[in-house]
Structure 1
Amino acid sequence: MPEPAPVSQPAPPRLRIGILLTPRFTLSAFATFVDVLRLAADDGDGSRPIRCQWKVLSADMAPVQSSCGIRVEPDERLGDPSRFDYIFTVGGLIESGRLSPEQSAFLRRAATARVALGGLCTGVFAMARIGLMDGYRCCVSWFHHQDFLAEFERMRPVSDQIFVVDRDRLSCSGGVSAAHLSAFLVDRHLGRAAARKSLSILMIDEPMEGDRPQPGLPLELNAHDPLVRRALLAMQQNLQAPLSIARIARDLGVGRRKLERHFNADLGIPPADASIRIRLAQARMLLSRSDRTVTRIAEETGFCDASHLIRVFRETEGITPDLWRQQSQTPGEARTPE
């Protein structure tokens, strides 16, 4: 009788990712990152981890609670980090998002073994606390830019891009940027068609490059030019101590005149006027939502003093900040206390 044909072994996954969840992690960043992998891993929508594999790792296998209250069960114990191509830490609430001693030791072993490490959402805070981001560029949401600077004075986070890849460190600003970082990895290991397929099923138009400006800033200026948007982000991130236009241009790697030309072409106003509008928008928000004094608001929005804010505010709104606050307050509306 003829010998039976040998059973072919399935090919190993081309992309293997381990995931650490910090306490009160952001569920959306974790879910969108994994869903891109899931949709790229199999033909159709079968969700089989064939071409890529992902595992939630734990020291004790206890469920981890996200910031919205939903708990996620780990898949495997920490073990040998070299079985993965990448290991990502998912952050969420900054103060509670700290790595355990076992997780920290695991990531240090991974770094020694030259496994690429990444942070989703505020995961870079947890990684920076144990020294794994020293000497690397990292991406932080504009919303947490000042929080990062307050904790890591010697590091300068990137908050005008959706994700950053610096050698063997990867990081993203959270939210849908986690999907784009995941698609970047899928593109790198499985091909662009797989990345586009995943994003299309998730109703995301197309993969975005890491240097795409972060969306979602509460600005009244609707800029389309990427250079202008990055400049507006720099203004937003430095409200209390506004940067000079020359400094912003230098940080963006362009001359001041070029930056001014881009502003005039895109918004029809010079950068200095845009800076005033952003600071006034923040002042109006603080007037309507808090009981802060005009003097305090002037300090927090980069005006020289209360008189300076009052003068600029009256020129723009036609009334003083205090009168604007009275007129804008809805009857019975509660304000946030000082």
Structure 2
Amino acid sequence: MLSPDFTLSAFSNFVDALRLAADDGDFSRQIRCKWKVLSYNSQPIRSSCGVEISPTSELIDPSAFDYIVVVGGLLHSGKKIAPALIGYLKKAAEQNIPLVGVCTGSFILARAELMNGYKTCVSWFHHQQFESEFPKLHVYADSLYINDGNRITCAGSAGVMHLAANIIEKHCGKHEASRALRIMLEEYPLSEKSPQPQPFVQTKITNINVHKAILLIERNISTPLSMEEIASRVNLSHRHLERLFQKEIGLSPAEFSIKIRINHARNLLINTSNQVSFIAMECGFLDTSHFSRRFRTEFGKTPTEIRKEALLQQQKK
């Protein structure tokens, strides 16, 4: 079930894992797994990136399915899921059909009052908003997905294929699940308890302007914005933004920007084979020597030393 402005990657990662497990070879026949795209009408459903998906089934009896997956998308587009679909989800819940919310599909289930009493997994990016909108629900942003009986929720993106693999393993076998992931270039399946990559700031941000500025910094790691431009975009003076940052996280915007870029560089060093010079540029450092000095100041070790340690740890595993 696709919401208006749904996230295409969440949908495609889930369905592609099913497709690869459903058949041998590359024929994509729905043998071991079958799926339908549900809708109350025959109109194409537009994703957040503009690509449209045509539904393949009307709202047939929910008992025909082992799971009903709700794919969420943009929270602020102003478009809401149709009442007919909400009614259908409630009917499925009455019949004890497991409901799966991926990406912001968890918001849709929660707004339909279908997450009451269940644990909910959301992306760290949406955790604060979910907590504010549903203060009585138990929400978590420290794992890829949560399987809580008849409710399964997933943070989205790459985590969706691992959730799909978990479901595939349960019904079709471990071999089919692992094979699907390998074809999707995932080395091994990640469990429910696998952590989400977390943002640099772990504390709750109360000031909306600081929150907006942090998002601007995070979205422009490769080509950092000047502090003046960031302040301008959030309609504050540079000095006022600095005071707010110091109050909220104890760092200036410039210090925060460097730290988040250095931490991103460390993740790339550990998880990719890219050259140090490439990683430096990818994280907004035009001078490799300056990057290495700043890296050593932050972690007490050079980028090369951090990479060697990570490789040794992986070999031990």
Counterpart in 1 of 2:152? 170
Letter in 2 for 1:121: C
Q: Which residue of 2 aligns with 1:95?
A: 76
State the distance in 1 between where 2:177 and 2:239 align. 50
Q: Which runs of 5+ in 1 are unaligned?
A: 1-19, 220-234, 242-277, 318-327, 329-338
Q: Could you tell me how far apart the structure 1 residues matched to 2:247 and 2:173 are?
A: 47
Cα offset, 1:79, TM superposition = 1.7
CA contact (8 A) 2:205 2:248 kept: no
Q: Distance in 1 between matches of 2:206 and 2:226?
A: 13
Per-residue Cα deviation, 1:164-194 (whole angstroms, up to 9, x for no partner): 1111101111110010000010011111110
Counterparts of 1:126-165 in structure 2 under 5 Å? 126-165=108-147
TM-fit CA distance, 1:237: 5.0
What is the match of residue 123 of structure 1?
105
Task: Kindly indicate whether residue 166 of structure 2 is the aligned counterpart of residue 187 of structure 1.
Answer: no
Other structure's SS at 2:143 match: coil
Distance 2:28 2:76 in 1: 34
1:191-270 mapped onto 2 (5 Å cutoff): 191-215=173-197, 217-219=198-200, 236=202, 238-240=204-206
Aligned residue identity for 1:182: A
What is the DSSP-based 3-state SS (H/G/I as helix, E as strand, rest coil) of the residue aligned with 2:188? coil
Runs of 4+ residues over 3 Å off in structure 1: 284-289, 292-304
- Name the counterpart of 2:57: 76
Residue 38 of structure 2 aligns with an amino acid whose one-letter code is L
Secondary structure at the aligned position of 1:40 is classed as: helix
> Which whole-Å CA distance do the structure 2 matches of 1:122 and 1:84 have between them?
22
For residues 93 and 205 of structure 1, what CA distance do their matches in structure 2 show? 30
Deviation at 1:98, TM superposition (A): 2.8
Q: CA deviation at 1:298?
A: 4.2
Please tell me whether the aligned partners of residues 24 and 65 of structure 1 are also in contact (alpha carbons under 8 angstroms). yes
Scaled by the length of structure 2, the TM-score of the pair is 0.69
SS at match of 1:138: strand
SS in 2 for 1:55: coil
Give the aligned partner of residue 21 of structure 2. Answer: 40
Aligned to 1:29: 10
- Aligned-pair distance for 1:119? 0.6
Which secondary structure state, in structure 2, belongs to the residue aligned with residue 67 of structure 1?
coil
SS at match of 1:170: strand
- Which runs of 5 or more structure 2 residues have no equivalent in the other structure? 208-213, 219-223, 260-283, 285-317
Contact 1:240 1:302 in 2 (8 A): no
Encode CA deviations 1:69-106: one digit per residue, 9 max, x unaligned.
00000000012011001001100101346321100110
Count of residues paired in the alignment: 239
SS in 1 for 2:152: strand
Residues in 2 aligned to 1:188 and 1:298: alpha-carbon distance in whole angstroms: 52
- Residue number in structure 2 paired with 1:290: 230
Question: Within 1, Cα distance between the matches of 2:199 and 2:225?
Answer: 10
| CA distance, structure 1, for counterparts of residue 246 and residue 60 of structure 2 | 49
Q: Deviations over 1:4-49 (max 9, x none)?
A: xxxxxxxxxxxxxxxx100000000100100000000111221100
Give the aligned CA root-mean-square deviation in angstroms: 2.8
In 2, are the aligned partners of 1:240 and 1:299 still within 8 Å (CA)? no
TM-score by length of 1: 0.64
- CA drift of 1:116 comes to 0.2
Look up the equivalent residue of 1:193 and give its one-letter code: H
C-alpha distance in 1 between matches for 2:226 and 2:87:
43
| CA distance, structure 2, for counterparts of residue 49 and residue 288 of structure 1 | 55
Shift, 1:155, TM fit: 2.3
Q: Do the aligned partners of 1:145 and 1:237 also contact (CA within 8 Å) in 2? A: no
Contact 2:124/2:199 (<8 A) preserved = no
* Matched position secondary structure for 1:53: coil
Partners of 1:303 and 1:117 lie apart in 2 by 38
Q: Conserved in 2, the CA contact under 8 Å of 1:146 and 1:237? A: no
